[in-house]
Amino acid sequence: MIAGHILTPGGFVRGTLAWDGGRITRVQGEPVAEAEVRADHATPLLLPGFIDLHVHGGGGADTMDAGDAVARLAREHVRHGSTALLATTMTAPLGEIEAALRALAPACAEREHGAARVLGVHLEGPYISPDKLGAQPPFARLPSLAEILALHAIAPIRLLTLAPEVAGSLALIPALVGAGMRVQLGHSAATYEQALAALEQGASGFTHLFNAMSALHHRAPGAVGAALAHAQHAEIIPDLLHVHPGAIHAALRAIPGLFCVTDATAAAGMPDGEYRLGRQTVSKCLGGVRLADGTLAGSTLTMDQALRNLVAIGLPLAQAAARVSTHAAQYLGLADRGRLVAGAWADVVVLDAGTLTLRQVFAEGEFVAAAPAG
């Protein structure tokens, strides 16, 4: 049992939270205003564990490395409060993607001690536009339902990013959704009309909104315009490098279920230097990760810093917490994560109310030492 200011679906309470067998058994306390919560630096904050649906790496490990890479990145990110995540692939030759998924499958089946729960795979490529690769290697390919389902049989694909303007993509969306995948639009040069058609076919989100997609122009709204006009959900990277705070606020006003992702690379949690992002060599310097030509290539962001960034640009704490946890859980249809209620998994982050730095992390009730501040 732990005590503090607990964020429940109904707001903050001052009280206690208990669990057994990895699941919350009781949350009790008296309501308290958020202003009082933030002013009381002596009482810890208890928030739902963070959920990151776009993670390429961390702690020096890259998902495409196969081997124990996913275990290493899951151990790194849980220390920053991400109690659940999707291991995210890169565009690569099909054999390399298959090898990465085979290595991921055991981690998807069972959570390792001291690690985040790997909820499944985010397949970010290869079914994207060769004209909007961003930092993806040049191995984009046309989509095939049989090929995707074969990959899904190796390890569960929970999210799949595709470019709707690529030949054959639109027709596949209903079958992919029927197979249990969320389809997101990204790495795409789609027109507004093509993006809207994909949403009408069953696509339900946008991958790292604003980045590597056709931009908003008042006479050619592009994929960004379709997202702002019609999307219920979208990812956004709040490292304050990928997206200007003003654009984040615009997305927050327009998209009810906007949720934060890190798009973290192997450089997350590591010193400046060179790292791998799939087949690419990337450099970490001055808080960012870039290709040799200066292109942003994922991030070094962790979800605890994402929370602090959202609060720093003006979001109330409860709203910021929803964007790094609850909305992602709802998007994947997970009623027992992203919420501190009886019956949910005991995924809990304990923070200092003044600095919003992590004090403790509990993943499915297991204590995990938080990463040192800074």
For the annotated catalytic residues, the residue numbers are: 263
Strand (E) or helix (H) holding 314: none
Distance CA(22)–CA(310), nearest Å, equals: 29
Neighbours of 99 (CB within 10 A): 17
Single out the residue of 98, 119, 101, 102 nearest to residue 110, CA to CA. Answer: 119
Neighbours of 72 (CB within 10 A): 19
Main-chain phi, psi angles of 259, to 5 degrees: -130, 155
Going by their DSSP bridges, the two strands 45-48 and 348-351 should be labelled as antiparallel
Distance CA(111)–CA(131), nearest Å, equals: 37
Distance CA(2)–CA(6), nearest Å, equals: 10
Helix (H, G, I), strand (E, B) or coil at 57: strand
**Beta bridge partners of residue 123, listed in sequence order:** 160
**Beta bridge partners of residue 300, listed in sequence order:** none
Single out the residue of 195, 279, 185 nearest to residue 235, CA to CA. Answer: 185
